[in-house]
Amino acid sequence: MMKNVGQPLVLFLLGGSLIFAADALLRPAPMNIIVVPNELLQGLRSELERKGERGPQALQTALDAWLEDEMLLREAQRLGLNKGDPILRRRMAQVMRFFIAESAQLREPSETELRAHLKTYAERYQQPKRVSFEHHFFSGKEAERKRELAANALVKGETVQSDAFAHGNHLVGQSETRLAQRFGVKFARQLMGMSVSERWLPIKSSLGLHLLVVQATDAAGPAKWNEITQQLRQDWLRHAKSRAISDGLRKLKTRYQVER
């Protein structure tokens, strides 16, 4: 074999191989083309105008940022990074779900559809018992004494001196859950058991001492239509979006065959 290396034909072939390899290494990689659609430029202009930014320089800066992202995305796909990274994989699947939902072009529901949704999921829109009341709040070491003085003042119809309360002195339509969040569980449970009365009653919360009068109660039951219309609309659209994604995935599955 060593003897053949010195032969002219072998030298010619070897030299040609080296030149070909060097050319392959030095030759620039094929240029990737990025087409910037007019829709993208219009979208960038609209976004800039929304932010109060105008002018060719602002548009060019936004376009440069988009191009950098596009190039990085293509390189990540070329290197197969989207295949080995579970977080990126989930993110891309999430984007596709969003794309499918947006492509469905959801319309606004009619009142008939909202009422049908309410009928189907009536249990979700039940209102709990609610209570409206007025109270005076007392805190600190002198809370008990201040409350006694206030109780006497109320009996006499005089002005009451009490401490400031963050949520105000007059609370309307409070559920037990909301009361527990603001005043504590024991206070909420005790208040929900009270009836409407003109008597000022002493009660203790997790924040301090109170004098309280119950002004109205609303029994648990179906919510009023005008109170839940917006919530119904949001829920209906969320269901419609979920159905659109399910339909899109069902159509997508017909294009794939799973092998194990």
Fold of domain 129-219: Chitinase A; domain 3 (3.10.50)
Hey, what are 45's tokens?
Answer: 């202009």
State the pLDDT confidence band at 31, using cuts at 50, 70 and 90.
low
Please give the helix or strand (H or E) that residue 214 lies within, else none. strand 209-218
Q: Check pLDDT > 60 for residue 26.
A: no
106-133 per-position pLDDT tens digit: 889 999 999 999 999 988 888 899 999 9
Handedness of CA 245, 254, 80, 35 (dihedral sign): negative
CA–CA distance, 151 with 26 (Å, rounded to integer): 94
74-96 per-position pLDDT tens digit: 887 777 777 777 887 788 888 88
Alpha carbon 181 to its chain's center:
23
Which of 28, 36, 32 has the alpha carbon at shortest distance from 78?
A: 32
% of residues, the chain, pLDDT over 90: 43
127-182 per-position pLDDT tens digit: 899 999 999 999 999 999 999 999 999 999 898 999 999 889 999 999 999 999 99
CA–CA distance, 162 with 134 (Å, rounded to integer): 13
- For residue 253, what pLDDT is reported? 84
User: β-pairing, 221-222 with 130-138?
Assistant: unpaired
- For residue 9, what pLDDT is reported? 47
CA–CA distance, 127 with 174 (Å, rounded to integer): 11
- For residue 18, what pLDDT is reported? 45
CA–CA distance, 243 with 249 (Å, rounded to integer): 10
- For residue 33, what pLDDT is reported? 85
Q: Check pLDDT > 80 for residue 51.
A: yes
State the pLDDT confidence band at 99, using cuts at 50, 70 and 90.
confident
Averaged pLDDT for residues 29-58: 85
- For residue 30, what pLDDT is reported? 60
